[in-house]
């Protein structure tokens, strides 16, 4: 065969090769830096290679300047340094804009956690003196950010009843910059009338943001509802394996420049390995979610029949107060829901949650594994304080529903014994 070896840089002079194919040159420190960096043969694999990078290289100073101007302007796929993106993170942000923003003109940015994907956009869009309306049912750390650090920078956050709907109009002030939503709400699972709130916000010139953690783009389409900024904790269902942290903000393109400037100035970025894991996770997100959904519904219906349980807070159950809204707006439900116990002492809660075989005690959710955690709801609601019994949140993983039900049955029996 007379075909030349294809792994030589195109145009590079043929180096004398050893039997291993490596150039027959003596060892040197320079070789240590240079070796193996001239591979440029395209090999077709299913997944893109993982790019780990800080510096990005240029052929000329003019190239560096041109790329810098394009990156500063937030043009797609332009970067002068890995804080602005690498091929791996760009593949991920393209995918997120395409999926979460399907049918709309959107851009996406990734951040090192779901919480950063909440705080960074709020910082990007608000200034001192602004007013933010935030649902009373938001993720606890979002509430803490709004009430402390954000407040210190002069932004006043007012919490509102999650089911307010179009009534939000009465709370909008001349300086209201953002209405921040989460549907269903954390721990209490209220469904918000997001389309109605978005109509009011648009008429009053207020930006709308939503935390789309629970449903993910598989089951909810926030941009169809009229949302301007959708936040995705990729840590949860998109990652799906409890092995990395990441968040994304997907925004209508008109809102991209402000977000991009904040991201660049705050130095918020993610590494190639985590971006690769997010890309891998999202391929199977919808099929995993269908299984989480089926299992959680089976567990939820079983809990509804238990005498210890006052009610189950799951939007896909007909007993849920906003079930009709969920049916109108969502195309599925996930593995996360809560149930309220009629009564339980702290020792009984411990007996319910500890030493379970499948429901392990842990924060977060969205992975393949089941988790259980009592809610410390007392500190998390200010508009309408929680007056119900002890609240316990479950994440139903990918185990068999029968095993999860048996596990909870043992927990409830242990709870009774501890009484």
CB of 413 to ligand PLP, least distance (A): 30
CB 82 within 8 A of CB 53: yes
CB 210 within 8 A of CB 230: yes
CA dist 50 and 52 (Å) reads 6
Q: Does 238 bind ligand PLP (CB under 6 A)?
A: no
Q: Does 232 bind ligand PLP (CB under 6 A)?
A: no
CB of 114 to ligand PLP, least distance (A): 2
Q: Which of 213, 227, 263, 275 binds ligand PLP (CB under 6 A)?
A: 213
User: Which window, 6-14, 36-44, 107-115, 369-377, contacts ligand PLP (CB under 6 A)?
Assistant: 107-115
State the CB neighbour count (10 A cutoff) for residue 169: 16
Nearer Cβ to ligand PLP (229/245): 245
Size of the site for ligand PLP (CB under 6 A): 14
Instruction: Describe the chain by its helix, strand, coil percentages, rounded to 5.
Output: 40, 15, 45
Q: Does 338 bind ligand PLP (CB under 6 A)?
A: no
Q: Does 211 bind ligand PLP (CB under 6 A)?
A: yes
CB of 181 to ligand PLP, least distance (A): 11
Residues contacting residue 337 through CB under 8 Å, at least 6 positions apart: 189, 296, 300, 312, 313, 314, 315, 393, 394
Residues contacting residue 302 through CB under 8 Å, at least 6 positions apart: 405, 408
Nearer Cβ to ligand PLP (242/416): 242
Nearer Cβ to ligand PLP (67/100): 100
Q: Does 247 bind ligand PLP (CB under 6 A)?
A: yes
Convert residues 124-153 into a mask of x (bound to ligand PLP by CB under 6 A) and - (unbound): ---------------x--------------
Report helix angle 256-266 to 116-125, nearest 10: 120
Q: Which of 409, 392, 412 is nearest to 339 (CA)?
A: 392
Question: Which string of DSSP letters, residue by residue, matches 246-270?
Answer: -EEEEEEGGGHHHHHHHHHHHT---
User: Which window, 112-120, 123-131, 257-265, 354-362, contacts ligand PLP (CB under 6 A)?
Assistant: 112-120
Nearer Cβ to ligand PLP (137/322): 137
CB of 232 to ligand PLP, least distance (A): 9
User: Which window, 47-55, 80-88, 108-116, 325-333, contacts ligand PLP (CB under 6 A)?
Assistant: 108-116
Nearer Cβ to ligand PLP (215/344): 215
Q: Does 233 bind ligand PLP (CB under 6 A)?
A: yes
User: CA dihedral defined by 123, 128, 132, 138, rounded to 10 degrees?
Assistant: 40
Tally the C-alpha atoms within 13 A of residue 256's C-alpha that lie toward its C-beta.
19
Q: Does 364 bind ligand PLP (CB under 6 A)?
A: yes
User: Which window, 12-20, 87-95, 111-119, 156-164, contacts ligand PLP (CB under 6 A)?
Assistant: 111-119
Q: Which of 133, 79, 142, 77 is nearest to 108 (CA)?
A: 77
- What is the pairing mode between strands 309-313 and 336-341? antiparallel
Q: Which of 186, 216, 295, 322 binds ligand PLP (CB under 6 A)?
A: 186
User: Which window, 82-90, 150-158, 233-241, 294-302, contacts ligand PLP (CB under 6 A)?
Assistant: 233-241
Q: How buried is residue 108: exposed, middle or buried, by Cβ count under 10 Å (0-12/13-18/19+)?
A: buried
- Residue 267 CA, distance from chain mean position: 19
Q: Does 377 bind ligand PLP (CB under 6 A)?
A: no
Q: Which residues bind ligand PLP (CB under 6 A)?
A: 113-115, 139, 182, 186, 211, 213, 233, 235-236, 245, 247, 364
């Amino acid at each position: 065969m007379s075909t030349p070896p294809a792994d030589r840089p195109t145009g590079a002079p043929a180096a004398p090769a050893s039997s291993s194919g490596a150039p027959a040159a003596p060892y040197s420190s320079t070789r240590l830096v240079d070796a193996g960096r001239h591979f440029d043969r395209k090999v077709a694999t299913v997944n893109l290679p993982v790019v780990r990078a800080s510096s990005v290289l240029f052929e000329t100073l003019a190239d560096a300047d041109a790329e810098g101007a394009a990156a500063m302007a937030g043009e797609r796929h332009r970067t002068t340094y890995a804080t602005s993106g690498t091929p791996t993170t760009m593949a991920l942000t393209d995918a997120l804009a395409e999926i979460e923003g399907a049918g709309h003109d959107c851009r996406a940015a990734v951040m090192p956690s779901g919480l950063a994907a909440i705080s960074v956009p709020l910082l990007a869009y608000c200034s001192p003196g602004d007013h933010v309306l935030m649902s009373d049912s938001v993720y606890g750390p979002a509430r803490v950010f709004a009430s402390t650090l954000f407040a210190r920078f002069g932004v006043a956050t007012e919490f509102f009843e999650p089911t307010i709907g179009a009534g939000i109009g009465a709370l909008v002030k001349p300086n209201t910059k953002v209405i921040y939503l989460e549907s269903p709400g954390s721990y209490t699972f209220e469904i918000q009338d997001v389309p109605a709130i978005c109509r009011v916000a648009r008429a009053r010139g207020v930006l709308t943001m939503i935390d789309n953690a629970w449903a993910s783009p598989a089951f909810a389409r926030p941009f169809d509802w009229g949302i301007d900024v959708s936040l995705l904790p990729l840590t949860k269902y998109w990652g799906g394996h409890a092995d990395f942290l990441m968040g994304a903000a997907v925004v209508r393109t008109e809102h991209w420049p402000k977000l991009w400037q904040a991201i660049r100035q705050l130095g918020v970025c993610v590494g190639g390995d985590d971006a690769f894991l997010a890309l891998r996770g999202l391929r199977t997100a919808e099929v995993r979610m269908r299984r989480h959904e089926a299992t959680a519904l089976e567990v939820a219906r079983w809990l509804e029949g238990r005498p210890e349980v006052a009610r189950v807070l799951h939007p896909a159950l007909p007993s849920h107060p906003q079930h009709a809204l969920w049916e109108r707006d969502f195309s599925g439900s996930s593995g996360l829901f809560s149930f309220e116990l009629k009564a339980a002492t702290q020792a009984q809660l411990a007996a319910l949650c500890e030493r379970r075989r499948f429901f392990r005690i842990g924060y977060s959710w969205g992975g393949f594994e089941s988790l259980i955690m009592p809610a410390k709801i007392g500190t998390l609601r200010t508009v309408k304080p929680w007056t119900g019994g002890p609240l316990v949140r479950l994440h139903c993983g990918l185990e068999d529903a029968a095993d999860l039900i048996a596990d909870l049955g043992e927990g409830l029996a242990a709870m009774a014994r501890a009484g």
